[in-house]
Amino acid sequence: MNIPDNIKYILERIYKSEKEWKALYMAVWRYSGHIETLFANPESFRIQDFRELKAILGTPSGTAKAITVIWEPQEKLENGIVELELPASKKPYLKYTIAELRLILASRDKGFTLSHLQTLFSLLEVLTTEVSDEVLKSRKDMGYWKNMKPFLKNTIKLPEPTINELYLAKKTRDCFIHNSSKIDYKGEWIEAYKIARGTTPSANRGDELEVGLVNIFHQVEDWHDLIVGVAKTIEYKIAQLFEA
């Protein structure tokens, strides 16, 4: 018997998710980097630089159908106005100062990275929910850790360190969604960190997550590899069951 299509679809989404995450990340990084280059040499800024920005941010076949630059030579660079037109929108365009655009794009690194963790862990929850339904004939919502942990331990046979690291990833995801990327005041994230890493994090309740994780991008890459590995273990075990 083949693995059911609903489970195969979730597995495929997990396996493809890294390319999707990093493609979006690099696209925004490209725009942000060009603006940062402008700000690095504001004294040599010319209107031609805005024309280059227009070429990078949108093309006739791109998402941004048209870009208008409003800038007076006597104005400061950050006060220059860019009008972005989005074809799918009801609004004709949105106006940004260059300073606003710079802040928005430069601050998206963490958001895109933690959004990937949010998507990835949610897929793991859906995967384990569907697998429990198929394998155990008892559908349990794996959005609750009290259901997921025993399933991973007793049915999938994951080692304790892997389960503890997954719990830390889950609590990080929860802090991103529910606590504006700050460590929760209940201390659940700190306890999860202690259990997973065997040490106390260099962060306190209410601190930004990056205080405790140092390099969020690298951390999410590690969790991505971990969750992909768990998904492959699940796929292997259920394939054996369905072939039996």
Q: Give the separation between CA 46 and CA 22, rounded to whole angstroms.
A: 32
Which amino acid is residue 162, in one-letter code? Answer: T
Q: Average pLDDT of the chain?
A: 83
Q: What is the pLDDT of residue 62?
A: 45
Q: Give the separation between CA 147 and CA 71, rounded to whole angstroms.
A: 58
Q: What is the pLDDT of residue 238?
A: 85
pLDDT category at 90 given cuts 50, 70, 90 is: confident
Q: Give the separation between CA 91 and CA 110, rounded to whole angstroms.
A: 28
| pLDDT tens per residue, range 99-143 | 787 777 766 667 788 999 999 999 999 999 999 988 878 788 999
Per-domain residue ranges of the chain: 26-106, 108-243
| pLDDT tens per residue, range 11-66 | 999 999 999 888 877 777 777 776 777 666 666 655 555 555 555 555 444 444 44
CB 228 within 8 Å of CB 119: no
Q: What is the pLDDT of residue 59?
A: 46
